[in-house]
Amino acid sequence: MTKRLEGKRVLVTQADDYMGPAIIDMFSKHGAEIIEDRSDLTVPDAAAKAVSDAGHVDVLMANLAADARFGVPILETDQEAWSSMFDIMVHPLHRLTQAVLPQMIERRKGKIIVVGSATGLRGMAGVTAYSSARHAQVGYIRSTALEVAQFNVQLNLIAQNWVENPAYFPPEFVATPEFQEVFKTVPMPRLATPEEDALFALFLASDESDFFVGQAIPFSGGWVQ
């Protein structure tokens, strides 16, 4: 097997959550040296410390997830619920990016990949706070990528949904009538496997994707096109 990340050092945030385990497993098989971060990135200094402790970082996997709190009307979304989505998924992305970009720019090589959400590309009722934070991630990647492309640094985002993972689609939730009703809106009649998602992340982390700049790429079984 060709090891597509041989010699690459990859920093993965929320290593135990969301897509962290699947990405770590896949990237390790392809020769990457993984730095697993489990720090609380809502603490303002935590992102800079994670990057500093990691040292040389070829690829930053910004794996950032929060409780989507489905079915919460906007009039019932309090300030704490609203702010927490940005504290978990948006502010850490900016801090991580600011911390890791200088070394990538100096080397004229590097990749930042956000494990985002397709709700950042398509509206969804009942998840306004979550979806707004995911939209903010998309805007951040699209804009920042344009600044650093000249240095051969690529920023991209996986806009995913309907992927098997314990954070959003545990088996007990998938079995409910509520899930089955919402799932009728998905053209592909199954969830994606974690391995399929990790293979997509592998492509974006590899040198094969050097011409992708500022893309928020749907990975959602046709739910977003």
pLDDT at residue 2 is higher than 90? no
Residue type, 162: W
Written as six digits, the tokens of 47 are 């992102």
pLDDT at 34: 98
pLDDT at residue 70 tops 90: no
**8 C-beta neighbours (distance < 10 Å), count:** 21
pLDDT in tens, 184-221: 999 999 999 999 999 999 999 999 999 999 999 999 99
pLDDT of residue 1: 74
Q: Kindly state the DSSP code that residue 223 receives in the 8-state scheme.
A: S
pLDDT score of 20 more than 90: yes
Query: Taking the complete model, does pTM exceed 0.85, yes or no?
Result: yes
Q: Is the pLDDT of residue 71 over 90?
A: no
Closest Cα partner for 119 from 84, 164, 192, 69? 69
Residue carrying structure tokens 């990237």 = 27
| Average pLDDT along the chain | 95
**pLDDT at site 101:** 98
DSSP state of 119: G
pLDDT range class, residue 67, cuts 50, 70, 90: confident
Nearest to 133 by CA among 197, 86, 179: 86
Residue 21 has pLDDT above 90, yes or no: yes
Which pLDDT score, from 0 to 100, does residue 78 have? 92
Rounded Cα gap, residues 28 and 22, in angstroms: 10
Question: Residue 4 pLDDT more than 90?
Answer: yes
pLDDT mean over 82-105 = 97
- 61, 23 Cβ separation under 8 angstroms: yes
pLDDT for res 56: 98
Domains of the chain by start residue, with CATH = 9-218 (3.40.50.720)
pLDDT of amino acid 84? 96
